[in-house]
Amino acid sequence: MKQRPTSFFSRLIYNLVKRYRHSTIPRWVFLVMDMALFVVSFVLMKAASMYGLTMESLQGGIFEFAVSGVMTFLFFLGVGTHRSIVRHLGMTDVYKILIATIGPMLLLWTFKFLNTTIRPQIISSQYLLSYSDAFYLFFTLAVLMIVARLTIQKIYNDYFKKRRPEVNIVIYGAGAAGIITINALKQDIHYDYKVVAFVDDDLSKVNQELNGVPVMRARAVLNQKFVDKNNVKELIIAIPTVRQMHKQAISNKALDLGLMVKSVPHIRHWINGSFSANQIENIKIEDLLGRESIRLDNVNLVREIADKTILVTGAAGSIGSEICRQLFQYQPAKVVMLDQAESPMYDLQFELRSNEPYCKSVDRMEFVIANVKDKQRMEEVFERYRPQLIYHAAAYKHVPFMEENPYEAVYVNVFGTRNVADLAIKYGAQKFVMISTDKAVNPTNVMGATKRMAEIYIQSRSTDKTHFVTTRFGNVLGSNGSVIPLFKKQLAAGGPLTVTHKDIIRYFMTIPEACNLVLEAGAMGQGGDIFVFDMGKPVKIYDMARKMIQLSGMPNIQIKEIGLRPGEKLYEELLANKEATIPTHHPKIMRAQVRKYSLEAIDNEYSDLWNVLETMNPMDIVAKMKHIVPEFISNNSVYCQLDRKEEAPRQSE
């Protein structure tokens, strides 16, 4: 344990720091200290410059002290040297000290010059500091003020901060952000961070030092030998503009080495333009799954959306709400946001009316509580607003729930879609864009089958006046009911994390990315189109759970395999077996070539389905669904018995 300081000055500073180690020392203390240092500096200057003490020189010294002291005090107050937090001393504080000491020196020099050039003199020159004495006085004062602050900072670091746990880290990025990061970490009051190496891809920086820390190549640092030898615990990515794919590669390599991974946010997210250690963010699982930002054809979207009345169903959901946020970028005449869930709808209303930039468009917002399966209510909405564009995101999406409630799944997902689609034609809407799912492809569950049936219906409805477009994509990160929020809740509860199967895989994209593509696909669709999004590489849910545990810093959390749920399959597909795609002008959007259905056949089948639905018999309802969608083969479900005996339940292998 460190010993207490023994000298009076050190003990005084030690006791002050001890008392205020969790807060800040009052400003008046530093103002008094600085004026005391001025007195010391003046005495030292006089001791060095006076060879003989006379009454006249003593009187002159008192006058010199009074004039220079008042000037110095006023400069201290004006510059605010006493307002800085000493434990976070930086170059800005040093600049303040220099200004507060050079200022009065220059003022005294100016006064001395004017006094000696004006005749008669205002006062005797012997009562004014000479040029050299003024320089020595304020040079000494500046040195003492800086040394005093550095001493307080060192005592604080040595006797208080050093007792905090040590953490060895590596900083990826030896540029300006890396320097700012290491300086911010030095001020952290919770941990004593020791930077053992900088990593940089710029070979011109390699084998040099930054603040005494070596700059090395990635392969020399990101290996188990280096990590173990230096007991490295964390890696901080200090490249705020790093490309997404590069960030993922760095993070994955660090996670494989058992390191915690953090990153420095972009400068626009710094608080008041400055950066502190508590702004360093933990890497999130979304950062490891997200992709490079999408380039949109804004001209095309403005032409599609500007000055139009737009209806968004399911507006309070994850996808629907993000579509609403993005629509306001393109100056629509009105956005009618419709949902049956009142609490999420209230949250959306509060957000859009309260926050920039949406609050500027309050007069363009309409919030409607309604259920798409209520045809009479939906007719009232269409009659009142007469939307020109419709984004249909309203649907039940939870696979196990819909497996248990096929009546509700069909009523909302199929006939709710039919209600909105028929009204779109009746009231002359220009375009209807439906949000579908990869679970509609070769469906193994009720939910996926209902979405496929909705696709079939709207695909058959396109007319010269109303164009119907379907967008089909996989899971979105962070959406309501998705796996990532579930894992976060389980982590918060101490685990375990549950996965249905060790080999289950899914496609993922971020909510903003998915909605960007929905708007783009909707703009390019000409009727009867099904657009498929490039979902990238599939992700193993088990690997995702493992990485989330690593990112959480709780390595003892277990992963529990609980078995596939009813209707669930190991993998999702974006295309049915008989479908193919053709490219569009957007590299992430493809147009599916799908089987066509006659209007008359669809109307007959859905009329029969409605009659079966009224029986409310789950087996009969699902049997009829399988008749309409022959590729609907149940998996791990009570409805497997309805499939032909020769047709084995579809499993991924």
423-463: per-residue pLDDT in tens? 999 999 999 999 998 888 889 999 999 999 999 999 888 77
Res. 12 pLDDT band, cuts 50 70 90? low
- Asked if residue 305 and residue 272 are part of one domain, the reply reads no
Res. 313 pLDDT band, cuts 50 70 90? very high
Q: Which of 159, 185, 201 is the last residue of a domain?
A: 159
Going by their DSSP bridges, the two strands 589-593 and 529-533 should be labelled as antiparallel
Active site residue 439: yes
Mean pLDDT value across residues 199-220: 86
Task: Evaluate whether 313 touches 339 at the Cβ level (below 8 Å).
Answer: yes
* pLDDT for 392 beyond 90: yes
pTM for this predicted structure: 0.68
What is the rounded average pLDDT for all residues in the chain? 81
- Asked if residue 279 and residue 140 are part of one domain, the reply reads no
* pLDDT for 387 beyond 90: yes
Give the residue, 14 or 185, on which the prediction is more confident: 185
Mean pLDDT value across residues 300-312: 91
pLDDT at 273: 45
pLDDT at 335: 96
- Asked if residue 115 and residue 134 are part of one domain, the reply reads yes
Q: Tell whether 1 is covered by a domain.
A: no
- Asked if residue 434 and residue 574 are part of one domain, the reply reads yes
Question: Residue 63, SS3?
Answer: helix
Q: Tell whether 273 is covered by a domain.
A: yes
Task: Evaluate whether 83 touches 111 at the Cβ level (below 8 Å).
Answer: no
* pLDDT for 587 beyond 80: no
* pLDDT for 651 beyond 50: no
Peptide bond between residue 400 and the one before it cis (omega within 30 degrees of 0): no
pLDDT at 9: 57
* pLDDT for 216 beyond 70: yes
Distance, CA of 197 to CA of 249 (rounded, Å): 19
Task: Evaluate whether 516 touches 319 at the Cβ level (below 8 Å).
Answer: no
Phi-psi region of 173 (alpha: psi -120 to 50; beta: other; left: phi over 0): left
In three-state form (DSSP H/G/I as H, E/B as E, the rest C), the secondary structure along 110-173 is HHHHHHHHCCCCCCCHHHCCCHHHHHHHHHHHHHHHHHHHHHHHHHHHHHCHHHCCEEEEEEEC
* pLDDT for 127 beyond 90: no
Mean pLDDT value across residues 181-207: 82
- Asked if residue 638 and residue 499 are part of one domain, the reply reads yes
Give the residue, 614 or 7, on which the prediction is more confident: 614
| Residue type, position 165, single letter | P
- Asked if residue 132 and residue 173 are part of one domain, the reply reads no
Res. 123 pLDDT band, cuts 50 70 90? low
Q: Which of 159, 175, 199 is the last residue of a domain?
A: 159
Mean pLDDT value across residues 468-492: 80
Greatest Cα pair distance in the chain:
121
Distance, CA of 414 to CA of 396 (rounded, Å): 10
Distance, CA of 8 to CA of 43 (rounded, Å): 20
The 10s digit of each residue's pLDDT in 100-110 is: 888 888 887 87
Give the least confident one: 115-119, 206-210, 215-219, 259-263.
Answer: 115-119
Taken as a whole, the chain contains a residue count of 653
Strand partners, 311: 336, 390
Strand partners, 271: 274
Name the residue with tokens 């005749």: 119
| Residue 606: domain span | 298-642
Name the residue with tokens 């460190």: 2
Indicate if the alpha-carbon torsion angle 493, 495, 501, 502 is positive or negative: positive
pLDDT at 522: 84
Q: Which of 284, 439, 451, 547 is catalytic?
A: 439
Q: Tell whether 474 is covered by a domain.
A: yes
* pLDDT for 611 beyond 90: yes
The CATH number linked to 233 is 3.40.50.720
Res. 411 pLDDT band, cuts 50 70 90? very high
Tokens of 592: 């599916």
The 10s digit of each residue's pLDDT in 220-275 is: 899 999 999 999 988 888 887 778 788 888 888 888 888 888 887 765 545 444 55
All residues at 6 or more sequence positions from 427 whose CB lies less than 8 Å from its CB, including other chains: 382, 383, 386, 387
The 10s digit of each residue's pLDDT in 560-577 is: 888 888 877 777 766 555
Angle between helices 8-19 and 131-159 (to 10 degrees): 60
pLDDT at 334: 95
Q: Tell whether 451 is covered by a domain.
A: yes
Distance, CA of 604 to CA of 595 (rounded, Å): 18
Tokens of 112: 């001395």
Mean pLDDT value across residues 585-598: 76
- Asked if residue 126 and residue 46 are part of one domain, the reply reads yes
pLDDT more than 70, % of the chain: 82
Indicate if the alpha-carbon torsion angle 457, 459, 463, 465 is positive or negative: positive
Count of other CB atoms within 10 angstroms of residue 281: 15
| Most confident region among 54-68, 195-209, 474-488, 538-552 by mean pLDDT | 195-209
* Four-point Cα dihedral 492, 544, 322, 414, nearest 10: -110
- Asked if residue 517 and residue 624 are part of one domain, the reply reads yes
Res. 653 pLDDT band, cuts 50 70 90? very low
Strand partners, 260: 234
Task: Evaluate whether 626 touches 643 at the Cβ level (below 8 Å).
Answer: yes
pLDDT at 395: 94
All residues at 6 or more sequence positions from 260 whose CB lies less than 8 Å from its CB, including other chains: 233, 234, 235, 282, 550, 551, 553
Q: Which of 251, 283, 315 is the last residue of a domain?
A: 283
Peptide bond between residue 587 and the one before it cis (omega within 30 degrees of 0): no
* pLDDT for 623 beyond 80: yes
Give the residue, 215 or 175, on which the prediction is more confident: 215
Q: Tell whether 291 is covered by a domain.
A: no
Angle between helices 91-117 and 55-79 (to 10 degrees): 140
Q: Tell whether 24 is covered by a domain.
A: yes
- Asked if residue 464 and residue 429 are part of one domain, the reply reads yes
Distance, CA of 581 to CA of 545 (rounded, Å): 33
Integer-rounded Cα radius of gyration of the chain? 36
| DSSP E strand stretches across 294-370 | 309-313, 334-339, 365-369
Give the residue, 485 or 455, on which the prediction is more confident: 455
Give the least confident one: 278-282, 504-508, 526-530, 541-545.
Answer: 278-282
* pLDDT for 124 beyond 70: no
pLDDT more than 90, % of the chain: 27
* pLDDT for 367 beyond 80: yes
Phi, psi (deg, nearest 5) at residue 497: -85, 135
For the chain, the domain total comes to 3
The 10s digit of each residue's pLDDT in 62-102 is: 777 777 878 888 887 887 777 776 666 667 778 888 888 88
| Residue type, position 71, single letter | M
- Asked if residue 469 and residue 484 are part of one domain, the reply reads yes
Name the residue with tokens 């269409």: 382
pLDDT at 54: 47
pLDDT at 52: 46
Q: Tell whether 225 is covered by a domain.
A: yes
Q: Tell whether 239 is covered by a domain.
A: yes
All residues at 6 or more sequence positions from 253 whose CB lies less than 8 Å from its CB, including other chains: 218, 222
Res. 163 pLDDT band, cuts 50 70 90? low
Looking at residue 416, the DSSP 8-state letter turns out to be: I
- Asked if residue 198 and residue 109 are part of one domain, the reply reads no
- Asked if residue 239 and residue 148 are part of one domain, the reply reads no
Mean pLDDT value across residues 463-477: 83
Give the least confident one: 121-125, 194-198, 521-525, 646-650.
Answer: 646-650
